[in-house]
């Protein structure tokens, strides 16, 4: 009898929090997306009643004249950041830091972790200082004397470069940690054997280390795709979708802008929710895929403790 | 015997140093600028301590809360979030790792789905949930220090951040529980100890590294948080609840010449993080390693 209820006592705080901040919101975001709830009719509109539901918001999204611009921005942002930094650079750093002196390698990994733990507002402030116009901007003050560049504010001339750099420097550390611990976990015998066989460093990387990275690579790619699709904090602080009209506006930022920041003193919760729903669906689908692909069996092994 | 094959070292170091230098330049700029009257690039045009006067007078003018009040709020929010995340994650992680109960499998799938699911997409409805909590007497508004757990309170912001952090925390803690031998626990159970006692007195002391890693990670997440406090508080400029907002408000209020003062506030928020990080980097760099089982 003892222990019948115990598990649920242990689980109850999580259940309460998950219900409050996940289940209820998940249901609500779908319902809200079918309504035109905003600041003006809040408290008046019965958004929970199906009589007030329609597909208008979704029609509005697809007929929005900036729709293709926003979609294109999102795809470009995700693909470039992911391939160049979150996977590409992360892999390069992981491979180099595991092939050089152990302590130096660790020091570099610590250094690359800094962007992730720096408060985001401070971090973006640094990037703005780097991009600043001559003579204040750091990059301009270095390139100027060499005769390169126009000395203009680089966030206005090349906003995408800086968005991808700023996000990529944060994103690279995730892959770096996973890849380097996977490399460190390769049995030393394998490396020894390839060395005895006279393999060059490149051959060792290509035929011993990269095959061992197959799963981490797949995991980082899919996981980071989802993170990038839904991240907008850095873009919001860096350019807020500008400098040109919708020049750097991505999907997730649009949802936030529509629903929670008021350009014209009017926050359109329903319309914003419709923008989020698309991301919510992508999120659910991808999360379920992880469950199927990534060794779920190992996780659900029955606990031995109860088989006394 | 050298097992690690060597890349041509100079080339390898160069490939690491060149991209990292951008980050280092940023940090260096922050340090130089905050002590300068004006800067051009990384060159100071005169040194001063004037930028740090926000420490004793509010840059937004009299009547606004001092930086110390904001720092206290941030510290309080971060500590509350860390404590709740660690306690709740350990409880749930323990139940998932060591107990058998109907629904265990679905609960595990749920945790994993939540871990991958981007909660940021739910900010809009969460805003409404917080508005409802506000209406609950006492819990909503009447809690001393925290203000409550509803909209526009330190407690409310902390609670949302706990919920966002929880799936990750549970995942990490379960990994650590899985790795301890269960012999000790079994003998304590046979001796008649309750599950709660076993968890608290026997298992928890054995997973200190896990508790440390998760605490550090949660604390840093909370201390740095910007989006959630921004969305769920409604302070006028300068009446910000936490440091990130204070800084961002200061940036948007300032004219160009005030950048040096802004940099000082930025450094003020950054220093504790860097000091904290230097002492805990080993725990932090291993945190994804702990969740590797079943993940990557």
B16–A121 CB contact, under 8 Å: no
Measured in degrees and rounded to the nearest 5, phi and psi for residue B215 equal: -60, -50
Is pLDDT above 50 for B49? Answer: yes
Across the interface, of A14, A113, A284, the residue whose CB is closest to B285 is A113
B186–A308 CB contact, under 8 Å: yes
Over residues A191-198, mean pLDDT: 82
Average model confidence (pLDDT) for chain B?
78
B121–A230 CB contact, under 8 Å: yes
Q: Is B62 helix (H, G, I), strand (E, B) or coil?
A: coil
B110–A18 CB contact, under 8 Å: yes
Average model confidence (pLDDT) for chain A?
81
Give the percent of chain A with pLDDT over 90: 6
Give the Cβ contact number of residue A185 at 10 Å: 11
Sign of the alpha-carbon dihedral angle for B217, B220, B223, B227: negative
Across the interface, of A122, A219, A229, the residue whose CB is closest to B270 is A122
Query: A191-195, B47-51, B161-165: which range is least confident on average?
Result: B47-51
DSSP string, B117-134: S-GGGGHHHHHHHHHHHH
Geometric angle at alpha carbon B227, from B223 and B229, rounded to 5°: 65
Across the interface, of B100, B116, B133, the residue whose CB is closest to A290 is B116
Q: Which residue of B has its CA nearest to A233?
A: B227
pLDDT (tens digit, 9 = 90+) per residue, B130-152? 888 888 776 766 666 667 777 87
Across the interface, of B125, B251, B273, the residue whose CB is closest to A28 is B125
From chain A, pick out residues whose CB is under 8 angstroms from the CB of B95: 6-7, 10-11
How much is the pLDDT for A302? Answer: 52
d(CA B99, CA A306): 7
Give residues with Cβ within 8 angstroms of B273, minimum separation 6.
A117, A118, A119, B220, B223, B224
Over residues B190-214, mean pLDDT: 82
Is pLDDT above 80 for B181? Answer: no
Across the interface, of A118, A286, A291, the residue whose CB is closest to B109 is A291
Over residues B212-227, mean pLDDT: 86
d(CA B249, CA B243): 10
3-state DSSP percent of chain A in helix, strand and coil, to 5: 70, 0, 30
Residue A61 Cα to chain centre, angstroms = 23
> Averaging pLDDT over each range in A163-167, B213-217, B246-250, which range is the top one?
A163-167
How much is the pLDDT for B4? Answer: 53
Is pLDDT above 50 for A307? Answer: no
Across the interface, of B12, B88, B195, the residue whose CB is closest to A6 is B195
Query: Shortest Cα distance from B63 to chain A (angstroms)?
Result: 25
From chain A, pick out residues whose CB is under 8 angstroms from the CB of B180: none
Over residues A199-225, mean pLDDT: 82
Query: Shortest Cα distance from A260 to chain B (angstroms)?
Result: 7
d(CA A262, CA B114): 30
Q: Which residue of A has its CA nearest to B280?
A: A110
Is pLDDT above 80 for B180? Answer: no
Is pLDDT above 70 for A6? Answer: yes
Structural domains of chain A ordered from first start: 73-250 (1.10.3720.10)
B266–A122 CB contact, under 8 Å: yes
How much is the pLDDT for B84? Answer: 92
- The tokens of B215 are what? 């605490």
A21–B40 CB contact, under 8 Å: no
Asked casually if ipTM beats, i.e. exceeds, 0.90, the reply is no
d(CA A21, CA B236): 26
Query: Shortest Cα distance from A246 to chain B (angstroms)?
Result: 20
How much is the pLDDT for A148? Answer: 76
Strands B43-44 and B39-40: antiparallel
Over residues A49-68, mean pLDDT: 81
Size of interface A-B (CB pairs under 8 A): 324
How much is the pLDDT for A265? Answer: 57
Over residues A284-304, mean pLDDT: 65
Query: A17-26, A282-291, B256-265: which range is least confident on average?
Result: B256-265
Q: Which residue of B has its CA nearest to A145?
A: B41
pTM attached to this predicted model = 0.83
Would you state the CATH architecture of domain B60-290? Orthogonal Bundle (1.10)
Is pLDDT above 70 for A299? Answer: no
Q: Which of A232, A242, A216, A259 is nearest to A37 (CA)?
A: A259
d(CA B179, CA B171): 13
A272–B262 CB contact, under 8 Å: no
- Contact criterion met (CB below 8 Å) for A180 and A98: yes
- The tokens of B3 are what? 């097992």
Give the pLDDT band (50/70/90) at residue B27.
Answer: confident
Is pLDDT above 90 for B67? Answer: no
Q: Where are the domains of chain B?
A: 9-48, 60-290
Give residues with Cβ within 8 angstroms of A220, minimum separation 6.
A86, A87, A90, A174, A175, A178, A179, B296
Is pLDDT above 90 for B225? Answer: no
Query: Shortest Cα distance from A222 to chain B (angstroms)?
Result: 10
pLDDT (tens digit, 9 = 90+) per residue, A224-244? 888 888 888 889 888 888 787
B120–A231 CB contact, under 8 Å: yes
Give the pLDDT band (50/70/90) at residue B88.
Answer: very high
Q: Measure Cα distances from A47 to A28, A170, A256 in Å.
A: 10, 39, 20
Question: Tokens 């969305």 correspond to what residue?
Answer: B231
Query: Shortest Cα distance from B143 to chain A (angstroms)?
Result: 19
């Amino acid at each position: 009898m003892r222990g019948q209820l115990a598990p649920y006592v242990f689980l109850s705080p999580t259940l309460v929090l998950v219900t409050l901040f996940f289940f209820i919101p998940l249901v609500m975001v779908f319902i809200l997306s079918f309504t035109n709830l905003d600041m003006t009719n809040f408290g008046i509109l019965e958004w929970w009643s199906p009589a007030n539901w329609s597909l208008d918001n979704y029609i509005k999204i697809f007929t929005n004249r900036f729709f293709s611009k926003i979609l294109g921005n999102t795809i470009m942002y995700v693909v470039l950041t992911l391939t160049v930094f979150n996977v590409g650079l992360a892999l390069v750093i992981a491979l180099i830091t595991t092939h050089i002196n152990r302590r130096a390698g660790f020091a570099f990994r610590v250094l690359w972790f800094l962007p992730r733990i720096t408060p985001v507002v401070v971090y973006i402030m640094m990037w703005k200082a780097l991009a600043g116009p001559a003579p204040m901007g750091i990059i301009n003050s270095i390139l100027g004397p060499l005769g390169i560049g126009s000395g203009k504010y680089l966030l206005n001339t090349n906003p995408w470069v800086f968005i991808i750099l700023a996000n990529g420097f944060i994103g690279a550390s995730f892959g770096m940690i996973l890849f380097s611990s996977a490399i460190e976990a390769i049995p030393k015998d394998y490396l020894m054997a390839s060395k005895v066989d006279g393999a060059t460093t490149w051959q060792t990387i290509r035929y011993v280390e990269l095959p061992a990275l197959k799963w981490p690579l797949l995991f980082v790619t899919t996981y980071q795709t989802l993170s990038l699709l839904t991240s907008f904090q850095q873009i919001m602080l860096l350019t807020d979708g500008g400098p040109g009209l919708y020049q750097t506006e991505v999907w997730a930022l649009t949802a936030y802008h529509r629903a929670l920041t008021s350009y014209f003193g009017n926050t359109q919760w329903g319309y914003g929710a419709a923008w989020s729903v698309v991301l919510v669906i992508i999120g659910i689908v991808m999360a379920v895929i992880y469950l199927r692909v990534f060794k779920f069996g190992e996780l659900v092994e029955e606990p031995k403790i109860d088989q006394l | 015997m050298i097992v690690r094959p060597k890349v041509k070292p100079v080339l390898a170091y160069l490939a690491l140093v060149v991209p990292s230098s951008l980050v280092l330049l940023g940090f260096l700029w922050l340090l130089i600028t905050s002590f300068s009257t004006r800067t051009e690039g990384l060159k100071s045009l005169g040194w001063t301590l004037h930028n740090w006067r926000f420490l004793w007078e509010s840059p937004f003018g009299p009547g606004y809360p001092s930086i110390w009040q904001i720092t206290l709020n941030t510290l309080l929010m971060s500590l509350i979030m860390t404590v709740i995340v660690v306690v709740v994650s350990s409880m749930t992680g323990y139940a998932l790792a060591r107990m058998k109960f109907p629904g265990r499998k679905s609960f595990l799938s749920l945790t994993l789905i939540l871990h991958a699911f981007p909660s940021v997409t739910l900010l809009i409805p969460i805003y409404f949930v917080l508005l409802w909590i506000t209406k609950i007497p006492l819990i909503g508004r009447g809690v001393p220090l925290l203000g409550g757990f509803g909209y526009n309170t330190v407690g409310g912001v902390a609670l949302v951040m706990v919920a966002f952090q929880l799936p990750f925390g549970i995942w990490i803690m379960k990994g650590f529980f899985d790795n301890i031998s269960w012999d000790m626990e079994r003998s304590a159970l046979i001796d008649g100890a309750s599950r709660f006692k076993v968890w608290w007195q026997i298992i928890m002391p054995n997973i200190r590294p896990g508790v440390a890693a998760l605490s550090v990670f949660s604390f840093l997440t909370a201390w740095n948080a910007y989006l959630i406090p921004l969305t769920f508080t409604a302070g006028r400029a300068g009446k910000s609840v936490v440091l990130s907002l204070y800084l961002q408000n200061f940036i948007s209020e300032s004219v160009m010449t005030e950048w040096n003062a802004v940099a000082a506030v930025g450094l003020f928020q950054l220093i504790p993080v860097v000091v904290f990080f230097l002492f805990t980097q080993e725990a932090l760099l291993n945190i994804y390693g702990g969740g590797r089982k079943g993940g990557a």
